Structure 1
Amino acid sequence: MTNGTKNPAKDHAKLADFILFSQREFLLNLSRELNRDNISFAQFFLLGYLATSKELTMTDIARKMGHSTAAATGLVDRLEKLGYMERTHAVDDRRKVLVRITSLGIELVSRLRDELQSQIAAAMSETASEDAASFMTSYRTLSTEMAR
Structure 2
Amino acid sequence: MKWLTGCQLIDSPPGLTGFARVSSFIALNTETVTAFARSPSDQIRADAERLSHIVLEMQRCFVLHLCKELAPGNVSFPQFFLLTYLDRKEVLTMSAIAQKMGHTTAAASGLVDRLENLGYVMRSVARDDRRKVMVCITPKGSALVRRIREEMVGNLMKVLNHLTPDEQKAWLQIYSKIYDYCQSK
Q: TM-score, normalized by length of structure 2?
A: 0.64
Residue equivalent to 1:91: 127
- Deviation per CA, 1:86-141, whole angstroms, max 9, x where unpaired? 01111112232111111111111111111111110111012233322221232344
User: Quick check: which one's helix share is greater?
Assistant: 1
Residue equivalent to 2:175: 139
Q: Distance in 2 between matches of 1:67 and 1:87?
A: 18
Q: Distance in 2 between matches of 1:144 and 1:62?
A: 22
- Counterpart contact for 2:63–2:77, Cα < 8 Å: no
Q: Distance in 1 between matches of 2:182 and 2:94?
A: 27
CA-based RMSD of the aligned residues comes to 2.5
Bigger Cα Rg: 2
| Amino acid corresponding to residue 89 of structure 2 in structure 1 | S
- Residue 98 of structure 2 is aligned with which of 51, 57, 62? 62
**Pairing 1:112–2:148 present:** yes
Q: What SS class does the counterpart of residue 94 from structure 1 fall into?
A: coil
**Pairing 1:123–2:159 present:** yes
User: Mind listing any 5+ residue stretches in structure 2 that lack a counterpart?
Assistant: 1-43
Q: TM-score, normalized by length of structure 1?
A: 0.78
Report the CA distance shift for 1:107/1:146 in structure 2 as closer, same or farther (over 3 A): same
| Count of equivalent residues | 136
| Amino acid corresponding to residue 133 of structure 2 in structure 1 | V
